[in-house]
Amino acid sequence: MSDVKRVFNFSAGPSCLPEEVLKECAAEMLDYQGSGQSVMEMSHRSSVFEPIIAHAEAQVRKLMNVPDNYKVLFLQGGGSTQFAMVAQNLGIRTGRAAYIETGVWAKKAAEEARHLGIDVDVIASSKDRNYSYIPRVEKISGDYDYAYICLNNTIMGTHYEYIPDTGSIPLVADISSCILSEPLDVSKFGLLFAGAQKNLAPAGVTLVIIREDLITDAPRAGTPTMLCYKTHADKGSMYNTPPCWQIYVLGKVLDWIENIGGVKEIHRRNVEKADLLYNYLDASAYYHATAEKGSRSLMNVPFLTKETDPDKAKALNKEFVKAAEAAGLMNLAGHRLVGGMRASIYNAMPLAGVQALIKFMDEFAAAHQ
């Protein structure tokens, strides 16, 4: 492993994992703790795997300070399946829900709920400025079954710097791209979910934290068994074969977070990285960040050059991404809805990666100005 040349991976997901975790997984690939088998091969019902999933849940509870009246579930289907599960399991009293639309994923979640018969009320949206900011909705009231937000918007690089007050309305949040990047008061939410492929583990497991009173015996009519939270809560996330390997890696990532100082230290590191990059962009005569101040993500930083001609800008972006790859800076192409470039600087991205990116950006700007 010491001879392997690693790149800096700025992908929005699947993203980079801590090298320490990758090395541990490699060392245990053929033989997990003397069992003579890989975690990829073992039965999820075995006495060897049971402590693995129990440890992963315990670490989630510890690092996120999950209250006792919440269930921690390890599911499949990614965040997109949660769009449906939330609607089918929570939208059962009035069939009405409030959504704040701050980008692609919040919009998709609302569309899925609407498709399943929920009366969706988009109470605020930042579509008017291409989702470059988070609308301020301090309080949500009304006869809603739940309210829904996407806490961090991967594509647009925006993030809530506040949590809406929903009173007795359960607040649901997609935290896929910001989970464990900062302290978060779980008790303010009825349900949180996160696809693992940003900050937790390889793609394939979805973490759900749900308040127990929201786990219903009677979801909306026609809800498949596998889309009922109670199905999984009653069986400890093992109603069917869970994504064993991903849960194993997730546990190791959480151990890594704990060992370096927990969420408080991770947040400090993330602020340091993000401040370095945003300060550079704000001072640059050649680049600019697309997300507005006061709404900027610590995890995803889209940026553009100041070339105003669309055709020239497109060619320049391609040249930037290609040259960056040659320099060992990978997956910097921006999403088509924003254009330009995007640096995703998740928990596992070291400060050295951001420093290398800024050095490259300086050199690229000097050669093209």
Q: Which of 198, 245, 252, 256 is catalytic?
A: 198
Instruction: For residue 311, indicate whether it is catalytic.
Output: no
Cβ(13)–Cβ(203) below 8 Å: yes
**Crossing angle (nearest 10°) for helices 351-368 and 262-283:** 10
Instruction: For residue 3, indicate whether it is catalytic.
Output: no
Distant-in-sequence, close-in-space partners of 343: CB < 8 Å, separation ≥ 6:
10, 277, 300, 301, 303, 332, 354, 357
Q: Which of 105, 245, 252, 273 is catalytic?
A: 105
Distances (CA, A) of 342 to 76, 107, 163, 294: 27, 21, 25, 18
Q: Which of 68, 128, 143, 174 is catalytic?
A: 174
Distances (CA, A) of 241 to 76, 165, 168, 276, 288: 10, 38, 35, 43, 46
Strands (DSSP E) along the chain, which ranges?
8-9, 70-75, 96-101, 119-125, 146-150, 152-153, 158-159, 171-174, 191-195, 206-211, 287-289, 300-305, 329-330, 341-344
Strand 146-150 and strand 158-159: pairing? Answer: unpaired
Q: Which tokens belong to 161? A: 């710097």
Instruction: For residue 71, indicate whether it is catalytic.
Output: no
Q: Which residues are catalytic?
A: 105, 174, 198
